Amino acid sequence: MKIRLKDNSVKEYPEGMSVLDIARDISPGLARAAMAGEVNGSTVDVRKEIHQDSDLNILTFDDLDGRKAFWHTSSHILAQAVKRLFPEAKLAIGPAIDNGFYYDFEVDRPFSTEDLETIEKEMTKIVKENLELNRFELPREEALRFVEEQGESYKVELISDLPEDAVISFYRQGEFTDLCAGPHVLSTGAVKAIKLLNVAGAYWRGSEKNKMLQRIYGVTFPKRSQLEEYLERLEEAKKRDHRKLGRELDLFSLQEEGPGFPFFHPKGMVIRNLLEDYWRKEHIKHGYQEIKTPIILNRDLWIRSGHWDHYQDNMYFTKIDDMDYAVKPMNCPGSMIVYNRKIYSYRDLPLRVGELGLVHRHELSGALHGLMRVRCFTQDDAHIFMLPEQIKDEIIGVIDMVDDFYNLFGFKYHVELSTRPEDSMGSEEDWDKAINALREALEEKGMPYKINEGDGAFYGPKIDFHLEDCLGRTWQCGTIQLDFQMPERFDLTYAGSDGEKHRPVMIHRVIFGSIERFIAILIEHFAGAFPTWLAPVQVKVMSITDRSNEYISRIMDDFLDSDIRAESDLRNEKIGYKIREARMERIPYMLIIGDKELENGTVAVRSRKGDLGTMGLNEFKTMLLKEIKDKAL
């Protein structure tokens, strides 16, 4: 059989060779580092035998899917340790996630910090035992009997939801066996460094109607040094936590009167307004028109859009004049109504319509997290209505726009293409057309992308942009969703060149995603030290003595006339104290005014990076205004 490797080289091997055998043939070092394999786009065990011509990628810890196989094994080690220490614990689920793993347990009492330390020690013992992980399969009925005998009621429920003819896979390590599709690494001995991070409550299957379970989060690495680096980054992330900095810098707050509904303070509004102003200017440049649609619309609209059937659990409802209404979770249906107010010709398309629309979505209280996960947020939505032949060019136009936005803040990013989910609307033919259009646009741009099977929106496939912050964390922000369904459901039409009515194709897209969440990411990315153009206060002017107060007043008037955001500090405090306080506020520039500066009409300048010396006021202003205009980082 012929095996095409990641570098496009092709090698011939006997049928039945495993992924690990091929890795050994390529390099003993690669075999030692192999966590899993990717065969024809599917992630598999390194034990997986290949019997036909295939594309093969050997996955190591450097690959996300390789790390996930490693962390999936780690979750089994965690579950085995818990069962050894707490035999009555019932197992729920234990997946790998993007930054580690977790496992959910039903136990009589919450796990304590001391429990986590004991569990971590037991995990270390299991690693030293170097237990081999072995996969086996059972027919559905035998699998049910097997987990029933173990007393694992949650596993019984999971298997019961599978089709009658399903073959169920398990993995065994020592005395421990778990229901699992895999993949896993070869043995527990691969895990060299372990850290259990925290424990939290989690409802079974995410429903507050179900029992609350105990979720233990952890992370593991093949090397101790990697764990140490990770823990350092974790400490840095705590210092950058947007909730902490939001309080310290007086940007926003979350109050008990409205859990998940953020309050923006004056300084937070400066940042928000600057982002929205930039958004508006760039969209005007790119041919967008701005609209505003109502927050509350009636039930009939949401039935027509499909949200009533596919998204109802995430929505809020009210009654007006004995009729059912919903608070909008998305802006798109309102945009459909705006489109339908008039008749368009093919010459009018593409039509690009943007909206900074406030939406509300029901989130469980346990899922709320600062500005990252809230119950109301503003989406920088836009909808593009176009001819079928315009699809690729419009997608490329959005990709270019997203690139400009993220580069402004210094973000790197990667792209994922998400395909049809199980709960979806529309024909297979429409979905195939939509997916191929997105794929062609990405390939024409030469952008590498990952396929995310089954993770599209219910009305269409999407391209997601995952930006990377200065700590290497990724955040999904921008998205481009191609939609053949909404125009059909809302009977959108345009007059074609043949004089007949035709159906437009539609793009849904966001760039910031959520203004609130994007601000949270910026706070953590910059650790509150925003670029000068985005800083709520750009300059703090400080007096050494009262004699300079009148001069400072003239400077402040000059800054106000020049649209420079400045504050003065005329308090009778030592200048060192004032400087330290301004630095804690992350203010980009500090001007210190004493007798010498008053006499010479100059300013002593400090930046966040250090002392810049004495300058003339106009010299400083010129430098500052250029930095603001250039939106320099």
DSSP string, 36-65: EEEETTEEE-TT-EE-S-EEEEEE-TTSHH
Structure tokens at 513: 């995603």
Structure tokens at 570: 């005329």
Return d(Cα 2, Cα 12) in angstroms, integer: 5
481 classed as catalytic: no
Return d(Cα 360, Cα 314) in angstroms, integer: 9
Do 106 and 156 touch, CB atoms closer than 8 A? no
**CA 419-425-430 angle, 5° bins:** 65
Structure tokens at 70: 């490693």
606 classed as catalytic: no
462 classed as catalytic: yes
332 classed as catalytic: yes
Q: Which amino acid is at 174?
A: G
Residue closest to 507 by CA, chosen among 286, 352, 356, 338: 352
Return d(Cα 184, Cα 465) in angstroms, integer: 28
Active-site residue, selected from the candidate residues 462, 565, 606, 621: 462
Return d(Cα 450, Cα 452) in angstroms, integer: 6
234-to-10, 472, 599 alpha-carbon distances in Å: 42, 11, 49
Active-site residue, selected from the candidate residues 72, 184, 328, 508: 508
Active-site residue, selected from the candidate residues 80, 173, 214, 379: 379
DSSP string, 317-375: EEEETTEEEEE-S-SHHHHHHHHTTS-EEGGG-SEEEEEEEEEE----GGG-BTTTB-S
Active-site residue, selected from the candidate residues 67, 214, 332, 569: 332
End-to-end Cα distance, the chain: 53
Structure tokens at 292: 């505003």
Give the Cβ contact number of residue 188 at 10 Å. 25
Return d(Cα 401, Cα 435) in angstroms, integer: 21
Return d(Cα 108, Cα 130) in angstroms, integer: 30
455 classed as catalytic: no
Strand order in the sheet with 176-179: 134-139, 167-173, 176-179
Active-site residue, selected from the candidate residues 48, 83, 184, 361: 361
546-to-288, 506, 543, 568, 572 alpha-carbon distances in Å: 52, 63, 7, 12, 8
Side-chain-side CA neighbours of 502 within 13 Å: the count stands at 19
Return d(Cα 398, Cα 404) in angstroms, integer: 10
180 classed as catalytic: no
Give the Cβ contact number of residue 62 at 10 Å. 9
Active-site residue, selected from the candidate residues 48, 242, 272, 383: 383
Helix (H) or strand (E) holding 196: strand 193-203
Return d(Cα 541, Cα 624) in angstroms, integer: 14
Active-site residue, selected from the candidate residues 115, 381, 469, 483: 381
Return d(Cα 240, Cα 248) in angstroms, integer: 11
360 classed as catalytic: no
Active-site annotation, residues: 332, 361, 379, 381, 383, 462, 508
